[in-house]
Amino acid sequence: MIKVIGIVGATGSGKTYLSNLLARKFKAEIINTDASSFRKGLDIGTAKPKNEEMLVKHHLIDFLNPIEDYSINSFQKDCRSKIEELNEENKLVFLVGGSMLYLNSVIYDYQFSKVKRDKKKYLAYSNDELYEYLIKLDPALKDKYHPNNRRRIERALDLIEDNSLKQKQTETKYYDFLIIFLNPERKDLYDRINKRVDLMLEEGFIDEVKALKEAGIDLTKIKEIGYKELGDYLDGKITLEDAKEVIAQKTRNYAKRQITWYRNKIETVEVKVDYNNLDLALKKSEELIMRFLNGKTTKENSK
């Protein structure tokens, strides 16, 4: 069974920095599993790795248009194909990102059935009604979908209601994997998120949103946090301070859901992160990877 290593954590946990150092040390290549980083033009607002931060080769990054459809099924196929390709080249693979279900669909034996959609079943419902129904079924999706993006909401409902995404058994692995869960103290993480919103604005987040608007992109169809909010600011609907507050709050909420997922929905080994001494997390992660590659247990801190 092919060995793969995952580096996960909430947004702002230090994944980009630590994963690149680790991948360089172990001569690995990184496959992006963060759905936000699939899309061209969504750079600052998604904290996409900058060229100078990418110390090793990255795959599945910047290959979609901002609102182009791309299913989890398609990602599973593309990601597994890339893993097989790199394995044939005797290269170690790091899966890095914060999109929970995307990672799970690759490392566990998820099966997608070919259920045909009934396009008429949602006609009687308004956009807001469909959105509220989706959130009732899965509250974790609240900030990932916009009420006006009806097509994506219908797809998500099909996925849930028709059970078209199936897992043979929770324990059934598709690969032999080690998933390192980078986990800072909650207060430190939230402080970092708040500061990062200001940093994104300093780096040109507003100009990035302006460019998307000028290109004719409907910002309400971009699910990533911050784009709609800054679009509303540019349209004079809210103040910049209000936009910043909403972006920070939504990001903190999303981070909380990510942490819950990593603790309950996937087999991980938790590594504490101290922003003032990232070398501690780096060293611990290196030790875990060495044990994993040498066939030794890494389960003493597993979640």
Domain residue limits, the chain: 3-113+164-301, 114-163
pLDDT for 212:
98
Nearest CA-CA partner of 148 in 129, 133, 135, 161: 129
**pTM over cut 0.85:** no
pLDDT for 163:
52
DSSP secondary structure, 50-117, as one string: PGGG--S-EES-S-B-TT----HHHHHHHHHHHHHHHHHTT-EEEEE-S-HHHHHHHHB-EEE--PPP
pLDDT for 240:
98
pLDDT for 167:
45
Query: With a cut of 70, which residues of the chain have pLDDT below it?
Result: 113-119, 161-171, 299-303
pLDDT for 213:
97
pLDDT for 277:
97
CATH says 3-113+164-301 is which class?
Answer: alpha beta
Structure tokens of 170? 């929770």
pLDDT for 161:
62
pLDDT for 168:
45
pLDDT for 136:
81
Q: Are 66 and 212 within 8 A, CB to CB?
A: yes
pLDDT for 169:
40
Q: Are 36 and 48 within 8 A, CB to CB?
A: yes
DSSP class of residue 173 equals: B
